[in-house]
Chains A and B, each alone.
Chain A
């Protein structure tokens, strides 16, 4: 079965076989351009076509594109040949988490760390409207530093298709991780079903065995539907309480992720979130992009120290025209206008703009971390989904009486930033904004909705 040395699309050198499922084989591969190692999942196209799920898979792939979280295996690229479909994915170098459990149950602190990471990944995806629907040992992987990574997020079409094949049930008995309402095959809420599976996974990590287990499949289903399981005697009361709330067969009363995150057992050891490292990386790439070049203040230094700020950069005429919406082709690729950077013009002097920004910071309890050359770095006070929010505001001088201010996220979760921006920052700026750049009139946007079809991932199947 193992094959070496093949080159795919002149881009990936295929290596050894990493795993094999009903639908796909996973190979180790190397990107010949960048040299990085990846995993390539190879699907048989005919099988996929046969179950008629091509459109659903396409939709899911385009939703997955928006999922970027270090605890979720990233999907890099999708390719196809005549008979195969290839998913190029991030490689989890540490293999499956459950290889660890095979050697015996984990210590409480180790189990808790993995559970925290699992919940953080699942919570992030849910916030983007993406559910997993098939959380189980094969999908819980580790990176080279023994941190957890969830794979196959958002690709539930491939899960469903397994069911249609009837293969899932016969192979390894994984309904053990599936929520009761999924077994019932009623319409179900994917969010709640994922929470159930997380509970089963936590149980297995701590116990070294499954909460629901029976050699007879019907009997197993019965146990799951009733939520009948026993705690091993070494389970402490606090974790028992948590697990009973998660493994609640009624999805309506089952605990939410927000509540799990508030529970005292969960919070232990979280004061040092492991998020910071990636966020710093994210920052570094942003900087490398050179959003704006370092300010060249070639004019004579202004002889006043009243402001802590040096003079803002000058904006030349070509920079101004480069902001035209007519040169921004991104509209072709996406439905909603992205809010990566927002720019407004102001007729107020730089000092008033800064004063206003600082006032807003105070009100929203943002810290002003740095001020330099017209650049204000602001930071949130609370830990968010992807670390604390960072907002940069940069002021450019066009003429002494006309400034442009650019606002952008420098750190943290995009959705949290967008909420803060639209609900708080933008309305508060009203007094100093002359006009926002690149804004489309409202009625024009609606017109477009008709043309491009919407696909909202839904929680219910």
Chain B
């Protein structure tokens, strides 16, 4: 299982990778081999992936519109955060989420994935301009985006004071931006901030998208 030299047997699916290989390469496994995603879980994710990646363009790749359709039931709905998540999932930065990218990125959202990974992912998500820091301007932009998303209009003074208050708590060294360490400290004080980095659905994914097709070599215990 998980042999390193396996060649993809399925050529029909671009971006399709051997579930056994992926199963041993999800983020969870890097930290603790006992928490790895099983082959069955990867197979189940493939069932889900097939559905999402063919919802608009039937090419087995998740395009931005398909991602928006899945999240918002509306392919044209733009959202700053969804855009950021799409970009983070699109590891190769080629404008689509391939199956391998899908499985690896979702691994962070597994209830058993290390907290550290979730904290880092959230940091990268909020570091809009990828400078290695969450800047004050970025935080304000995100608050505005959230308010806009919910049709809330607040006075600029009010928004400024919300952002100021948060910055005075999180920006420990007072340099006007939040670095990784400050972010970690802030999250450990407010663990609910990364609640959205966990998807309980991944726990029973094999029930939500059962797949009885096995394309891989799995050892058989003969029963």
B161 and A327 within 8 A (CB):
no
Name which residue of chain B comes closest to A25, CB basis: B223
Cβ of B89 to closest chain A Cβ, rounded Å: 10
Question: In the complex, A62→B208 CA distance in Å?
Answer: 5
Provide the main secondary structure of the chain B interface.
helix
A322 and B161 within 8 A (CB):
no
Given A78-B207, A80-B213, A438:B150 Cβ within 8 A? yes
Please report the total number of A residues contacting B with Cβ < 8 Å: 77
B91 at the A interface (CB under 8 A): no
A322 and B218 within 8 A (CB):
no
A416 at the B interface (CB under 8 A): no
List, in ascending order, chain A residues with CB within 8 A of B150's CB: 345, 435-439
Question: In the complex, A331→B195 CA distance in Å?
Answer: 16
Bitwise, A54-68 to B at CB < 8 A (1) or not (0) is: 100110011011000
A302 at the B interface (CB under 8 A): no
B38 and A10 within 8 A (CB):
yes
Given A6-B221, A320-B146, A332-B52, A327:B72 Cβ within 8 A? no
Name which residue of chain B comes closest to A319, CB basis: B193
| Pair count A-B, CB < 8 A | 208
Cβ of B134 to closest chain A Cβ, rounded Å: 9
List, in ascending order, chain B residues with CB within 8 A of A85's CB: 212
Given A27-B223, A331-B73, A402-B158, A317:B139 Cβ within 8 A? yes
Count chain B CB atoms within 10 A of each CB in A289, A319, A322 and give the residue with the most. A322
B13 at the A interface (CB under 8 A): no
B212 and A54 within 8 A (CB):
yes
A61 and B83 within 8 A (CB):
no
A328 and B214 within 8 A (CB):
no
Question: In the complex, A292→B223 CA distance in Å?
Answer: 47
List, in ascending order, chain B residues with CB within 8 A of A11's CB: 38
Cβ of B176 to closest chain A Cβ, rounded Å: 15
A77 and B193 within 8 A (CB):
no
B82 at the A interface (CB under 8 A): yes
List, in ascending order, chain A residues with CB within 8 A of B205's CB: 333
Name which residue of chain A comes closest to B151, CB basis: A435
List, in ascending order, chain A residues with CB within 8 A of B39's CB: 9, 79
Question: In the complex, A293→B188 CA distance in Å?
Answer: 10
Count chain B CB atoms within 10 A of each CB in A8, A290, A327 and give the residue with the most. A327
List, in ascending order, chain A residues with CB within 8 A of B116's CB: none
Other-chain residue from A80, A291, A436 in contact with B214 (beta carbon distance below 8 A): A80
Footprint of A on B, CB under 8 Å?
1, 34-36, 38-40, 43-44, 48, 51-52, 55, 69-74, 77, 79-85, 106, 109, 125-126, 139, 142-143, 145-146, 149-152, 154, 158, 161-163, 165-166, 169-170, 186, 189-196, 199, 201, 204-214, 218-221, 223
Beyond the given pairs A61-B210, A326-B84, 17 more chain A to chain B contacts, judged by CB atoms under 8 angstroms and listed by A's residue number, are A3-B223, A10-B1, A61-B207, A80-B211, A85-B212, A317-B163, A318-B166, A319-B192, A321-B81, A326-B71, A326-B82, A327-B125, A328-B71, A334-B201, A402-B154, A440-B73, A447-B74
Footprint of B on A, CB under 8 Å?
3, 6-11, 14, 25, 27, 32-33, 42, 45, 48, 54, 57-58, 61-62, 64-65, 75-85, 289-293, 296, 314, 316-334, 345, 398-399, 401-402, 434-440, 444-445, 447-448, 451-452
Can you list 6 A-B pairs with a CB-CB distance of less than 8 A? Answer: A81-B220, A290-B191, A324-B80, A326-B82, A332-B70, A435-B152
